[in-house]
Structure formats: structure tokens, C-alpha cells
Amino acid sequence: MEYGQKIHIGGIKFSEELAQVTVGCKTTDDCTIHQLLHLLAERDINLTFLCHAGLSGNIESIFCIDRADLGKVQQILIRSSLPNEQVQIIPSIGTLTLFPHRNEMKLLGLVIGLFGKHGFPVHSFSTSISAIAFNTDYSLLDEITERLQDIFVLPENHAPFRQDFRVTQIQL
Amino acid sequence: MYKEERVKVYAITEKNHLALASLRFPAKDIEIWGLRVIDLEDCVQRFELVTYHAADKKNTELHLLIDGNKANNFSDRITAWIQNDSDTVFSLRQPVDVLYLFGPHFQDRFGIADTAFNALGQNGIDIFVSGCAGTSIYFVTPENRGRDGVTILTNTFLIPTTK
């Protein structure tokens, strides 16, 4: 890539408004991600994002949920007896998902740098073979995308960044 | 959103002989590390997985999973950058394995992470790092545990096949 040349990417997608929950523990005896995930699943709470680091000395589990489910999640956390200092909640998050063009992943550093340069918060992110999901402030999604287009080129027929509707299973 | 009696995925696979680089640095240094990640991307050509999250009020953690054959050069670059930086901690764990689940619409179905984490945990598979983006979930495990993890998850999830 030549200096200053924009990169073609496959697309960008915004999530709905979410909340991010971080649960930190010093040992696996303090808490377990397994129990927490099970409690969330029992209450039909969907995780839209998850990352976990269980390396020695510091165990962190970070997940995102629909903003509307935050109350239920807080109840679960209280009942799990996790000390308050082990839980961090960011109540208004948006996931900005980037789809690299033809699986070209050499853009991660550019995006991280852009966020840092403009002071956009990066609360968490994770990559996959086809996507990079950044969690940032929900209110900044449009502004961030404008800045991203300083370094990226989107397809001409790109879909709206926001999902038009959502389907939910109900019990009759 | 819906629940399945047995969660469907498209595929479960593994990779071996990888290296997991973990960095802990002040959140204010993220722009510098963005530039360094560009350099590291050139070094390894491709990251298998990258995750990032806050470690505490001031610091963040960045985990980069790479081809184990490129770990020495990768590690040397990072070590050179941080040799006079007492605020940054770097560790390299090698070799490690990684499991991948690919599935349709993970974010539209309940209980996928619960099913995967508990299946692995109940069978004694430690998870060093996990990340989920799009329709993929990754689990970084100790060496030689990737194959066990694939077997466990294959018996747990339903992989539709066509004849």
C-alpha cells in the first residue's frame, strides 16, 4: 500500500445500542466465566460480543449485551455475589464492525491508530477471519465512520450502517 | 433471537504451533501501539486473533495470536520498543493451540458462549484467551489441547452435513 492511499474495505456495520460489562477476577476461585455465562443464557440474555483473557494472575471477561437487558444483567451480577470493584459497566456502547476487503486484514493498526489520534474510546475489540469488531461509545459511531472514510473506501452500493429491523422469537 | 435444542455451527477446527503475545500498556498510548501494530502486521503477514480490553482504570491489554515460526522476530521488535518503558508489560506464551467455531448468525441465538465455555471447562480445557467477532468464536488453549477441544465441541454442537 502506498503512503496516503486509501484502503478498499468490504463494509461497515453498526450495532444497536449496547452495554459492556467487564468482570475481573484474580483467581478462578473468585468467579468463573462458566457460571456467569450459564446464568445469562438461562435468562435469555444474548451476548453480542465476548472476549476473555484467563492468563495467570488476572482473569478478565468482557461482554456486550443489548442496552435493554442491562437491568437483568445487573440483577444476575448482584446475585452472583461478585464484589462491585470486580465489575465495570459501560452503559452505552456501539459495536462498529469492519469487513476487510477480500480478507485483507492489514488494517487493524490503522484503525487503532485512528481511534487513538482522534481520542475515540476503544473499550474493547476482537478480530476474526472476516471482521473486526470495535466497541466504542454509541453516540460516536457516525463521527468515527466519517473519520474512517479518510483512510478507507467503501463499496459504491454499501448498505445502511444500521440494521433496519430485528426478528425475535416469542413464546405463544 | 431464538434457542436451539442443540446449537448448530458450520465448522469447528484447530490450529497448532502458535504463539500468544500479551501486552499490558497505558490506555493513553493506544495511538503509538496502533502504529506498532502496523509494523507487527508486516512482520507476521497475518494475525490469527487479536483481542483488546481494559485491564484496569489506566491500562489496557492487547493479545495477539501469531504463527509460532514468526515469534522470535515479533518478540524482538516489541522488546526493542519497550526496553525503556517501565509502564508496559510483555509476555509471550508458546506454543499454544487455537480452536475456531464458525457458525451462522451467532448473535441471533442464545447460549452459544455458555455451551462452548462450559463444554471446554467441564472437560478440563483451559482457555488462555477467547474472542468473538462476526460469526466466529476463537479459544486459545494450552499446547496439545486443541485436538481435545475440537472433539469435545464436535460432540457438543451440531454440524449439519449434506450427503
CATH number at residue A115: 3.30.70.260
In a domain, A169, yes or no: no
Q: Which CATH number fits domain B11-15+96-156: 3.30.479.10, 3.40.50.410, 3.50.30.60, 3.30.70.260?
A: 3.30.70.260
A32 and A85 both lie in a single domain? yes
Q: How many separate helices (H) and strands (E) can be counted in chain B?
A: 4, 6
Which fold would CATH assign to domain B18-95? Alpha-Beta Plaits (3.30.70)
Q: Mean pLDDT for chain A?
A: 85
Instruction: For chain A, give the percent of residues with pLDDT over 70.
Output: 84
Mean pLDDT in chain B?
A: 90
A103 and A82 inside one domain: no
pLDDT tens string B38-93: 999 999 988 999 999 998 889 999 999 999 999 999 999 999 999 999 999 999 99
* Co-location of A109 and A69 in the same domain: no
Asked if the peptide bond before residue A83 counts as cis, ω within 30 degrees of 0, the response is: no
Which residues in chain A have their CB less than 8 angstroms from residue B42's CB?
106
∠ Cα B73 B75 B77 (to 5°)? 70
- Residue A81 CB burial class (10 angstroms; 0-12, 13-18, ≥19): exposed
Q: Answer yes or no: is pLDDT of A103 > 60.
A: no
Give the structural domain span for A115. Answer: 7-16+93-153
pLDDT at residue A167 in the model:
58
Q: How many domains does chain A have?
A: 2
* φ, ψ at B32 (rounded to 5°): -60, -45
Same domain for A87 and A125, yes or no, is no
Helix axes B30-44, B71-82, angle to 10 degrees: 150
* Whole-angstrom distance, CA of residue A169 vs CA of residue B16: 39
Q: In this predicted structure, what is the pLDDT of residue B106?
A: 64
**Helical pair A70-79 and A33-42, crossing angle rounded to 10 deg:** 130
What's the pLDDT at A56?
65
Same domain, A51 and A86: yes
What is the pLDDT, as a whole number, of residue A70? 96
Query: Which amino acid appears at position B146 of this protein?
Result: G
Does A158 reside within a domain? no
A103 vs B134, more confident: B134
Query: Are residues A129 and B111, on separate chains, in Cβ contact within 8 Å?
Result: no
Which of B94, B114, B138 is the best residue to mutate to test the A interface, defined by the most A CB atoms within 10 Å of its own CB? B114
Residues of chain B with CATH 3.30.70.100: 18-95
Amino acid sitting at position A31: C
Q: What are the chain B neighbours of A130 within 8 Å (beta carbons)?
A: 134-136
pTM above 0.80, yes or no: yes
User: Which of A24, A40, A113 is the closest to B34 by Cβ?
Assistant: A113
| pLDDT tens per residue across span A10-35 | 899 999 999 999 998 776 655 577 88
Rounded distance, CA B94 to CA B22, Å? 11
Residue intervals of chain B classified under CATH 3.30.70.260 are 11-15+96-156
| Cα distance between the two ends of chain B | 29
Asked if residue A141 belongs to a domain, the reply is yes
In this predicted model, what pLDDT tens digit does every residue of B13-46 receive, in sequence order?
999 999 999 999 999 999 999 999 999 999 998 8
Residues A43 and A63 in one domain: yes
Predicted confidence band of residue A2 (pLDDT cuts 50, 70, 90):
very low
Of A46, A110, A127, the CB nearest to B50: A127
Picking from A91, A110, A125, the residue at the C-terminal end of a domain is: A91
Q: Do A30 and A44 belong together in one domain?
A: yes
The pLDDT, as a whole number, for residue B108 is 65
> Looking at this predicted complex, what is its ipTM?
0.92
Please give the angle made by the CA atoms of B154, B160 and B161, to the nearest 5 degrees: 105
Position A137 in a domain:
yes
CB pair distance less than 8 Å for B134 and A133: yes
Do A104 and A87 belong together in one domain?
no
Tell me which residue has cell 484467551. Answer: B129
Alpha-carbon distance A156 to nearest alpha carbon in chain B (angstroms): 22
A2 lies in a domain? no
- Residue A112 has a CB neighbour count (10 Å cut-off) of 26
pLDDT at A151 over 60: yes
Q: How confident is the model at residue B16, as a pLDDT? A: 96
Residue A1: band (very low, low, confident or very high) from pLDDT cuts 50, 70, 90: very low
Mutation for testing the A interface, residue in B2, B3, B30 having most A CBs under 10 Å: B30
Residues A135 and A146 in one domain: yes
